[in-house]
């Protein structure tokens, strides 16, 4: 039995937790800011209109991959978690975003990204670690860049 790889990373974003949560839950915009996401389609929504099942097409290791995630939401602190429903190169792609306020500054958020990956195809460890690093970079750094760029555009207009 092959174990899933687990990765966690955190970053501080100069925006309120609600802003970070809103961008992470806006699946239709992923292709605009997440460099590996080529397309995203919301297949179903929950009673609040939030994406429940979302289909993605992404670049992965030099090819295109397709997968469907099911999302759940939490409120204290703000959380978005997901489970892989179907995928062509992964057996598991489960994870969570957590958006916690930074003590003393309501306009800063500690974003923590937690990911479990199990690929259907065996790969050397260094290749898997490089792929995980790319996923984490997109999920954390590109989210931060997008939010802070939007905020600076709003401030200057």
Domain extent, residue 19, equals: 5-25+69-156
| Token reading at 32 | 């605009």
Q: How many residues does the chain have?
A: 157
| Rounded Cα gap, residues 87 and 102, in angstroms | 35
* pLDDT number for residue 77: 77
Query: Structure pTM?
Result: 0.85
- The whole-number average pLDDT for the span 36-45 is 95
The CATH number for 18's domain is 3.30.530.20
CA angle 38, 91, 27 (to 5 degrees): 30
Q: Do the domain assignments include residue 54?
A: no
Q: Do the domain assignments include residue 100?
A: yes
**Comparing 121 with 78, which gets the higher pLDDT?**
78
- Contact in structure between 95 and 80 (CB atoms under 8 Å): no
Q: Do the domain assignments include residue 10?
A: yes
124, pLDDT greater than 70: no
Q: Do the domain assignments include residue 50?
A: no
Q: Do the domain assignments include residue 59?
A: no
Q: Do the domain assignments include residue 45?
A: no
Q: Do the domain assignments include residue 43?
A: no
pLDDT band at 61 (very low <50, low <70, confident <90, very high): low
- Contact in structure between 114 and 100 (CB atoms under 8 Å): no
- Count: domains in the chain: 1
| Token reading at 71 | 């999302």
């Amino acid at each position: 039995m092959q174990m899933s790889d687990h990765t966690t990373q955190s970053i501080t974003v100069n925006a309120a937790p609600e802003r970070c949560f809103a961008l992470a839950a806006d699946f239709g915009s992923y292709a605009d800011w997440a460099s590996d996401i080529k397309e995203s389609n919301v297949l179903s929504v929950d009673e609040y209109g939030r994406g429940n099942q979302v289909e993605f097409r992404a670049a992965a290791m030099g090819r295109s991959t397709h997968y469907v995630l099911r999302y759940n939401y939490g409120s204290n602190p703000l959380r978005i978690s997901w489970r892989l429903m179907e995928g062509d190169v992964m057996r598991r792609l489960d994870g969570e975003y957590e958006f916690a306020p930074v003590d003393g500054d309501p306009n800063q958020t500690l974003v923590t990204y937690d990911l479990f990956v199990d690929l259907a195809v065996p790969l050397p460890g260094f290749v898997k670690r490089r792929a995980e690093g790319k996923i984490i970079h997109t999920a954390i750094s590109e989210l931060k860049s997008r939010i802070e760029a939007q905020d600076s555009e709003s401030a200057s207009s």
